[in-house]
């Protein structure tokens, strides 16, 4: 029995997420042909060398020509240009999808370029590591993770199901969500935590030299985890904050208020308040463990 889900799949941009999915597609022969468009010669030769695709090109029209599925895997700031540039070459009946971490504003900037007769199925696999580039991907990245699908109203259910099936083949569970609600959930689970990690590590980089070198030396005391998060791709994250501004600022507002409360509790030596919060937060951890989302992804080798 053939495993083929799509005859030709095109990746527009192929970093950690795209290359991990490409690994799954190659491993299980889910497509007859896989093509990648990449801006840099380095990425184009890397994906060939890793045998992730049949061909790679810097000609974006050629990349999507005849493709049944086109997946945008660039930083989301590039989506509008990409959508404009592929618009005229998309095959009738084909599907355009993406893997971006923001959905609302991003869907707006893509949807207008999707011609009639082409389906648009926005997706967001909730998986990743702090590493970037096609060499960082691995085929188990999506195992037991969620992929959130945020289709716009009126989208052909068959197209949605075909894309969902591809993610299921990658080991992922599927959740359907309204784009704006997705952006709100991600603001608190992902965007604000990353912003905070960037801030703490940034504050540390501004310390005087001696203190800074000690912070690095004694990173095992908690700081380490923040440096890992704050090592994520700068362009990707810049684009996320610019495109999910409202939800991020709202959550950041709540967080700042709560932080102010804790600051006062410390100043007033209000041990009860501290203990009560620190006890409540343990429950959330238990819930995260219960739903099996506590184990970090394991790349084949620790880098």
Residue 133 CB, shortest distance to a copy of itself, in Å, is: 13
59 pairs with which residues across the strands? none
Among residue numbers 70 through 109, which ones bind a copy of itself (CB under 8 A)?
A: 77, 101
Shortest Å, Cβ 158 to a copy of itself: 26
Strand partners, 8: 33
In the window 232-261, what residues touch a copy of itself (CB under 8 A)? 232, 234-235, 237-239, 241-242, 245, 248-249, 251-252, 254-256, 258-259
Least Å from the CB of residue 57 to a copy of itself: 27
φ, ψ of residue 101 in degrees (nearest 5)? -85, -5
Site for a copy of itself in 192-221 (CB under 8 A): 192-207, 211, 214-221
CA 181, 131, 123: angle at the middle one, nearest 5?
A: 30
Counting contacts by CB under 8 A, is residue 111 touching a copy of itself?
A: no
Whole-angstrom Cα distance, residue 240 to residue 261? 28
Q: What is the pattern of x (binds a copy of itself, CB under 8 A) and - over residues 10-49? A: ----------------------------------------
Cα–Cα distance for residue pair 256/284, rounded to 1 Å: 20
Classify the phi-psi angles of 55: left when phi > 0, otherwise alpha if psi is within -120 to 50, otherwise beta.
beta
Can you list the alpha helix ranges (DSSP code H) found in 79-191? 79-86, 104-111, 157-169, 179-186
Region binding a copy of itself by CB under 8 A among candidate stretches 19-27, 33-41, 127-135, 157-165: 127-135
Q: Is the CB of 153 or the CB of 269 nearer to a copy of itself?
A: 269
Residue with smaller CB distance to a copy of itself, 54 or 130: 130
Could you give the 3-state DSSP secondary structure of residue 298?
A: coil
Which residue, 112 or 238, is less far from a copy of itself as judged by CB? 238
User: Residue count at the site for a copy of itself (CB under 8 A)?
Assistant: 97
Separation CA 124–CA 286 (nearest Å): 25
């Amino acid at each position: 029995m053939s495993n083929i889900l799509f005859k030709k799949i095109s990746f527009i941009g192929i970093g950690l997420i795209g290359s991990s999915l490409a690994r799954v597609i190659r491993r299980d022969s889910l497509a007859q042909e896989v093509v990648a468009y990449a801006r840099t010669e380095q990425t184009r030769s890397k994906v060939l060398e890793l045998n992730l695709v049949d061909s790679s090109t810097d000609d974006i029209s050629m990349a999507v020509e005849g493709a049944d599925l086109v997946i945008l895997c660039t930083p989301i700031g590039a989506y509008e240009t990409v959508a404009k540039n592929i618009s005229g070459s998309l095959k009738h009946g084909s599907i355009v999808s993406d893997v971006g971490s923001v959905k609302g504003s991003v869907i707006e900037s893509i949807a207008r370029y999707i011609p009639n007769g082409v389906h648009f199925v926005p997706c967001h696999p909730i998986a990743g590591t702090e590493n970037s580039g096609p060499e960082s991907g691995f085929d188990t990245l999506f195992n037991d993770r969620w992929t959130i699908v945020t289709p716009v109203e009126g989208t052909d259910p068959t197209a949605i199901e075909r894309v969902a099936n591809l993610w299921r083949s990658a080991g992922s569970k599927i959740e359907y969500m309204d784009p704006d609600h997705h952006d709100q959930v991600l603001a608190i689970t992902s965007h604000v935590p990353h912003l905070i990690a960037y801030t703490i590590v940034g504050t540390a980089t501004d310390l005087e030299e001696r203190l800074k070198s000690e912070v690095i030396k004694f990173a095992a005391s908690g700081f380490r985890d923040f440096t890992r998060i704050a090592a994520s791709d700068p362009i990707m994250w810049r684009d996320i904050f610019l495109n999910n501004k409202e939800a991020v600022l709202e959550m950041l507002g709540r967080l700042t208020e709560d932080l102010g409360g804790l600051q006062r509790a410390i100043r007033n030596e209000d041990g009860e308040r501290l203990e009560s919060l620190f006890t409540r937060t343990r429950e959330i951890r238990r819930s995260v463990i219960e739903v099996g989302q506590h184990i970090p992804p394991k790349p084949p080798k620790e880098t």
